[in-house]
Structure 1
C-alpha cells in the first residue's frame, strides 16, 4: 500500500531512483488529487541561470541563492514561484498553498504576472522554479509502491534551504528509525 500523498508533504527519491530528472531529488507537493494526479517542484536543483537574467523585476525579492530552480521536467519554459509570508497575512498576488500543515501554512504561490511592488515588504522569502514535476492519476502511487519515493513531512525551512545541494541528505537524516541511515548511502550505491 502506498504512503499517504498530501499537499505540503515531501517526496524524497530513494537510492533506487536513477532517473536523472529525479535522482536524489526532494519534491514539495503543491497539488494532489487521486483522480487528477500530482504536481510538485524540486527543492534541491538550483540552476546556473540567475533570476535577474529571466525575471529581473522579481530578483530583489528572491531568497538566496538568487537563481532559478529546476522545478521538474514538465513545462521547463514556464515559471512558478513560492513565497512565505508572516502569519495571518494573505497579500494580493499570493495564494496560500495549504492551511493544514504548520510547515507550509505560511507558504503560497505567487502570481508572477502581478507587479512585484505589491508583494515587496509582504513576503519573507521567495523562490522561482522553471518547470515542475507532474504525475498522472495513480502514477506516483505506483512509483512509491515500486520503492522510488519516500513520503515524509516537510519542515518550515525546507523550501528555502540556503544549501539546497545538501537537502536530500538533511531531510533523510532527520527521519526516525532506519530511514535516517539512507542519508549515508553513497552517490553510487555499487560502491557501498
Structure 2
C-alpha cells in the first residue's frame, strides 16, 4: 500500500494491517508535532486499564480513561482536547483539536464536572520518531497517512473499531484492507 500523503501536523498515521510491532499493531496515531528534528504523536486506539484518578491521585473522582500514547516516556501524561473555549490554552494541531494546555485549569474543570470524555483524551507516554526514522518507515509502507477525518474520530471511545473505520474512510482503494485478518496465519 502506498500513501501519497506525507506525515504532517494534524494528520493521522494508520499502521499497515500486518505490522507486528505490539506498540503499533492496528494503531491510529494523531501527529501533534512534525519538524525536521522528528515527529510526536499519540495512539488514539489503545486504551489502558488505568483511569485518570489512578495517575493523578488528587483527581479522585476523575474516571476518564487513559490511553497508551506510545512507548516513549511512559511515566508522563499528556492530553488532547477540543475545548479551547474552556481551557483557553493548547497548541492547535488540527482544526479544533489541541494538544496540551494549562493543567491546573483542566483540573479545576474536571473537579467541577465541566468537561466530558468526548472533549478530551488522556495518554500515558507518546509515540516519537527521529528525524529520518519516520521517512524510512514510510518508504517501507509501514504507515498510511490521512488528513481526511472528522474530529469525532480523535475523541472516539470505540478503540476496537477505530483502525477499521479510518481505513474504510480512505476510500475504495483501501477499504478491502479493513477486512484483512489480524493474524493471517490463523486463516
What is the CA–CA distance in structure 2 between the aligned matches of 1:58 and 1:110, rounded to whole Å?
A: 17
Native 8 Å contact 2:46 2:159 kept in 1: yes
Aligned counterpart, 1:101? none
Q: Secondary structure at the match of 1:166?
A: helix
What is the CA–CA distance in structure 2 between the aligned matches of 1:23 and 1:183, rounded to whole Å?
A: 13
- 1:91-102 alignment to 2 at 5 Å? 91-92=87-88, 94-98=89-93
Aligned counterpart, 2:48? 47
Q: Secondary structure at the match of 1:114?
A: helix
Aligned counterpart, 2:104? 114
Unaligned runs of 5+ in 1: 99-103
Instruction: Specify which structure has the higher proportion of helix.
Output: 2
Q: Secondary structure at the match of 1:157?
A: helix
Unaligned runs of 5+ in 2: none
What is the CA–CA distance in structure 2 between the aligned matches of 1:137 and 1:59, rounded to whole Å?
A: 39
Give the drift of 1:56: 4.5
Native 8 Å contact 2:76 2:125 kept in 1: yes
> TM-score scaled to structure 2, two decimals?
0.85
Matched, 1:75 2:73: yes
Q: Secondary structure at the match of 1:179?
A: helix
Task: Spell out structure 1 runs of 4+ moving beyond 6 A.
Answer: 59-62
Native 8 Å contact 1:3 1:144 kept in 2: no
Give the drift of 1:112: 5.8
Residues 128-149 of structure 1: CA deviation (Å, up to 9, x unaligned): 1000000001111110110111
> TM-score scaled to structure 1, two decimals?
0.83
Aligned counterpart, 2:21? 19
